[in-house]
Amino acid sequence: MAVSRINEAGLNVNQYGNRNLIINGAMQVAQRVGLESSTRNGYGSVDRWSVLYTGNDEAPTQEQVDVASGTTPYDLDFRKAYKITNGNQTSGAGAGDYIGIYYYMEGQDISSSGWKATDPDSKITISYWVKSSVAQTFYAKARAYASSQYEYTYSIALSADTWTKVTETMPGNSNFSSLVNTNAAGFNHNLMLFFGTDYTNNKTLGEWAVKDNANKSPDMTSTWYTTNDATFEITGVQLEVGDTATDFEHRTFADDLQKCERYYQVLVKHGDGSGAANSILGGSALMYNSTYLSVTASFRTPMRTFPTLRSADSTGCFKFYRNNANDVFDDFTQAGSRTKYAIEMYNTTDVSGTAGHGGFIETVNSNATLAVDAEL
């Protein structure tokens, strides 16, 4: 059902639910905090958003931050942003260096979105708020995964420390054969904070072209990259079918969390429980034999694909309670048994007991976290 309301430009437009193809565009959900490193190459902070980099003298840091009151994004009800802080690149801007913010979406989501990707008259529009501590022109690019991969590059001119609304409308392309229609990556968007000359040249802006790893954008200014601890923030990302950027579709935290859990899901995290902040892992725990502790955990949300276990790598994280006894152990190892709905984990180094005895698992210290990862 359409609901009429006034948009940011003062125009009366029809608002539809589920317009936004981006999950966690308001950067509300950050499940990885406490398990992943903030300097991890890939996903490490805000769900569904990653920073990829190479050739750096010092790794960039990614984090979820508060949007300051009194700013335009705050007045539009954005409370969180995704922030990248540059490391100190003491050797300068190398030709093979890069740092970029990436968002990947499943092919089946873009192919069923209503965007007729092979029709130049069919449009898709991305919009978001960004802020850089350094004034310069950045570039961004979208990639569509057809029989050949195509990229569309556009520029973003930013003043220092100023939130700026970015909007870009992209047409379909008659050269596309068809988009990927599976749970694999079918579309991505990349904010290029810096890409060295190994990846850039004289890219024509505002049109689709076959992906060229040596020409992703025009040559880039390196000011942001060579400024120690330069920052870049983004929030309010919306991708929608049509040639108009409508008001951001705010979702509840619970809605965004459930969508994020298809890709990454915390099974247990110390501090989520009561008492001494110990948390109980849901699922069955059983001594398979005298030294093999087997634990099965079900997922709240079915995963995109068979997930990978991420277990806290620290000393004395978990405790197995059974038959008036308990064993403290460090972490779990992923067993071969896993589906989109559940996973079996085991420990064979720190626990001993009687085969067939069951019990439950509780976290012991602040490093105790278990998660499953099925990200693109």
Here the CATH number for the domain that contains residue 200 is 2.60.120.260
- Give the domain-ending residue among 260, 292, 310: 260
Q: What is the pLDDT of residue 14?
A: 43
Per residue of the chain (376 residues), what is the pLDDT tens digit?
Answer: 333 334 444 443 445 678 999 999 999 999 998 778 899 999 999 999 999 999 999 999 999 999 999 999 999 999 999 999 999 999 999 999 999 999 999 999 999 999 999 999 999 999 999 999 999 999 999 999 987 899 999 999 999 999 999 999 999 999 998 889 999 999 999 999 999 999 999 999 999 999 999 999 999 999 999 999 999 999 999 999 999 999 999 999 999 999 999 999 999 998 887 666 789 999 889 999 999 999 999 999 999 999 999 987 788 999 999 888 889 999 998 877 899 999 999 999 999 999 999 999 999 988 899 999 999 9
Instruction: Quote the number of domains for the chain.
Output: 2
Beta bridge partners, 363, equal: 318
Q: What is the pLDDT of residue 154?
A: 98
Same domain, 316 and 344: yes
- Give the domain-ending residue among 239, 260, 281: 260
Q: What is the pLDDT of residue 250?
A: 98
Q: What is the pLDDT of residue 243?
A: 98
- Give the domain-ending residue among 237, 260, 283: 260
Output the CA–CA distances (angstroms, integers) from residue 193 to 10, 65, 171, in the order listed. Answer: 32, 18, 24
Q: What is the pLDDT of residue 16?
A: 63
Same domain, 151 and 8: yes
Same domain, 279 and 364: yes
The overall pTM is greater than 0.85 = yes
Same domain, 270 and 254: no
Domain that includes residue 186, residue range: 3-260
